[in-house]
């Protein structure tokens, strides 16, 4: 029986079958907050509108006709590929994949055991993949890779997506909240406020990253805070034949962005339901990072 690293009071290390979770009708995992000390704030998405944007509801609705991306990525979802090479790693570990890693602030919470006790990881070991498109954080992420050789993998100046290519990435210039609104989407509220300053970065196919770096007996935590691009990534991830390699997904949904259509919201909701059916836990999640 493979041992799993689970959010639960006792035991923290357990098999997937021994860590039952109650799922809501929407397909979300629910569990009492006092079961586990999470540093990221878990709140309703409605509150996130006010915490993550200074743009009014009126201006959001007025801009609803904008396109999804200013420069549409020239690739489509790649959810399965027989040419992907599976990891040759010989022992299981905790795998922490941080999409929207900023300067490593969420990774710091991982090290502080806020996502579970590291000592109870399979084999007592872990690896982290830190992906962030904003070049303002490249120095910090590369320093983390140097400080944790073989454990931290910096994917600085890469955007999380469902295929490979290049994309425009719009910078939130507000340092007071650590540039948290930077986005691939040209109408992201904080990108608009910052004057749509953009850079061009490569995109990483997150499905491929998982397929090539995860073993079935790993405990895999996927944090997704990618300012709107989740509406592409999650439906694609749900099509991955081995999506169940992910044990828990911490997903922040930016449903209030002007160009997120009802169809996109429905596709994301359906993708989450498919992932839950593949035994991916999806707790309610919001982080002020």
Measured distance CA(115)–CA(245) in Å, rounded? 17
Identify whether the C-beta of residue 102 lies closer than 8 Å to the C-beta of residue 180: yes
What percent of the chain clears pLDDT 90, i.e. is strictly above it? 60
Q: pLDDT at position 17, please?
A: 29
Measured distance CA(58)–CA(251) in Å, rounded? 26
Residue 201: partners with Cβ closer than 8 Å, 6 or more residues away: 133, 135, 157, 158, 159, 166, 167, 169
Q: pLDDT at position 62, please?
A: 27
Q: Which of 205-209, 220-224, 251-255, 256-260 has the lowest mean pLDDT?
A: 256-260
Residue 119: partners with Cβ closer than 8 Å, 6 or more residues away: none
pLDDT tier, 238 (very low <50, low <70, confident <90, very high otherwise): very high
In the predicted model, is pLDDT for residue 63 greater than 90? no
Q: Which of 64-73, 200-209, 236-245 has the lowest mean pLDDT?
A: 64-73
What is the spatial order of strands in the sheet that 198-205 belongs to? 159-161, 198-205, 165-170
Measured distance CA(125)–CA(195) in Å, rounded? 43
What distance lies between CA 80 and its chain's CA centroid? 19
| Six token digits for residue 265 | 């919201």
Measured distance CA(183)–CA(173) in Å, rounded? 11
Q: pLDDT at position 177, please?
A: 62
User: Is 5 in a helix, a strand, or coil?
Assistant: strand
Pairing of strands 22-23, 13-14: unpaired
Across residues 238-264, what is the average pLDDT?
95
pLDDT tier, 30 (very low <50, low <70, confident <90, very high otherwise): very low
| Six token digits for residue 232 | 């592409």
Q: Name the DSSP class of 84.
A: P
Does residue 190 or residue 273 have the better pLDDT?
273
Across residues 12-33, what is the average pLDDT?
31
Each residue's pLDDT tens digit, 143-201: 999 999 999 999 999 999 999 999 998 887 666 666 556 777 778 777 778 777 899 99
Q: pLDDT at position 287, please?
A: 74
| Six token digits for residue 119 | 């000592």
* Domain spans, the chain: 42-63+71-80+87-277
What distance lies between CA 29 and its chain's CA centroid? 16
How high does pLDDT run on average in the chain? 78
Q: pLDDT at position 186, please?
A: 76
Helix (H) or strand (E) holding 231: helix 230-239
Q: Which of 53-57, 112-116, 137-141, 223-227 has the lowest mean pLDDT?
A: 53-57
In the predicted model, is pLDDT for residue 285 greater than 90? no
């Amino acid at each position: 029986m493979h041992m799993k690293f689970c959010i639960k009071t006792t035991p923290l290390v357990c098999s997937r079958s021994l860590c039952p979770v109650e799922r809501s009708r929407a397909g979300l995992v629910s569990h009492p907050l006092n079961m586990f000390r999470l540093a990221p704030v878990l709140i309703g998405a409605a509150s996130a509108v006010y915490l993550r944007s200074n743009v009014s509801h009126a201006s959001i609705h007025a801009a609803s006709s904008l396109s999804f991306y200013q420069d549409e990525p020239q690739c489509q979802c790649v959810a399965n590929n027989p040419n992907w090479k599976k990891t040759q790693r010989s022992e299981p570990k905790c795998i922490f994949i941080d999409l929207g890693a900023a300067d490593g602030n969420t990774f710091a919470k991982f090290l502080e055991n806020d996502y579970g006790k590291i000592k109870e990881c399979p084999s007592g070991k872990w690896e982290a993949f830190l992906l962030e498109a904003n070049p303002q954080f490249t120095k910090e992420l590369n320093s983390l890779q140097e400080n944790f050789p073989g454990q931290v993998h910096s994917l600085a100046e890469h955007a999380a997506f469902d295929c490979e290519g290049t994309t425009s990435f719009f910078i939130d210039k507000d340092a007071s909240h650590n540039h948290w609104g930077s986005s691939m989407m040209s109408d992201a509220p904080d990108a608009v406020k910052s004057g749509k300053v953009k850079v061009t970065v490569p995109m990483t196919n997150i499905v491929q990253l998982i397929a090539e770096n995860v073993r079935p007996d790993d405990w895999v935590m996927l944090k997704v805070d990618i300012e709107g691009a989740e509406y592409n990534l999650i439906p694609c991830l749900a099509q991955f034949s081995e999506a169940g390699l992910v044990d828990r997904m911490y997903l922040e949904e930016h449903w209030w962005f002007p160009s997120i259509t009802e169809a996109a919201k429905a596709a994301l909701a359906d993708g989450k339901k498919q992932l839950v059916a593949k035994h991916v836990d999806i707790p309610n999640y919001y982080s002020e990072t």
